[in-house]
Structures are given as structure tokens and as C-alpha cells.
Amino acid sequence: MYPEPDQAPAGAKATLGATHDLDELQASMLRSLASTHRLRILHLLGVRSREVNEVARELGMSQAAASQHLGAMRSVGLVEALRDGRTVSYRLSDPELLDACQLMRAVLVRRLSRLGDLAAAAYEPTVLLSSSSQVGHP
């Protein structure tokens, strides 16, 4: 954890302040993605730009709900709105957002695999010698 900027030596305060600000922005962006609907929207927009009604239709939600999610994502810089006359479409603000989400998904898959291996090992039958298999017994 980083110290608060006002607790740092004078020369380091600017750097710590910038780090603290960046941490706050990152946390805000990640909170915005803490929704299955928003993650699905991110994956849809990773393929191509879409209008609100397309997002709503493809994800099986109301247009109002899709618009609200896109607005929240736009407010933290995850998506951009592109206006063409009366039409507004949305796209990812940075294509690497999808890469970051796929990286996190890969981390989760590896973790689940390790947990699955651990669970499987916990249920493997243990080899116990029964009284009939001991030496000297038929």
C-alpha cells in the first residue's frame, strides 16, 4: 500500500500524489466493470461499435438499461460515444481494455483449475490396507 501523499518526504509528494490519483481512477474504472452486463457490453464492443438498441437486443435487456450501463462506462472512460447525425454508437475507448479483461479471465481460469485440482485430490480414495490384505491373512 502506498503512503498518503502528505506523509511522504517533500521530494516524493508529487510522485505519491500522482500514484494515489491514478489508483483512484483505476479503482473507479474497475468498479464500473463490476457488473456482468458491463463486462458483456465490453466484449460486444470489442468486436465492433454498436448502437444502444443493438447492445440491448444482443444482451436481452431493455434499451433504457443498456443506455444506463453505457453511460456509466462512458463516465469513467471505458467507452466513447460516436455521433453520426441522429445516430449514436459506442466503441471501446481503448482496444487494450478487452486485452486487460481477457488477461484477468485467464488468471481466473488458472485459479479455478488449481482449485479444481485441489478439490479432486481431496476426494481421491486413500489406499488403506484392510485387515484381510495384511501379511499372513488370506
- The reply to whether 67 and 105 lie within a common domain is yes
Residue 54 CA to chain centroid, in angstroms? 22
How far apart, in whole angstroms, are the C-alpha atoms of residue 32 and residue 97?
13
- The reply to whether 108 and 92 lie within a common domain is yes
For residue 85, being part of any structural domain is answered with yes
- The reply to whether 25 and 48 lie within a common domain is no
Domain with 23 in it = 1-32
For residue 125, being part of any structural domain is answered with no
| Per-position DSSP letters for 10-40, written without gaps between them | GGGHHHHHHHHHHHHHHHHHHHHT-SHHHHH
> Residue 40's domain is classified under what CATH number?
1.10.10.10
Q: Mind listing the pLDDT tens digit of every residue in the chain (138 residues)?
A: 445 555 655 556 667 677 888 999 989 999 988 999 999 999 999 999 999 999 999 999 999 999 999 999 999 999 999 999 999 999 999 999 999 999 999 999 999 998 888 888 887 766 555 555 555 555
pTM, full prediction: 0.70
- The reply to whether 92 and 54 lie within a common domain is yes
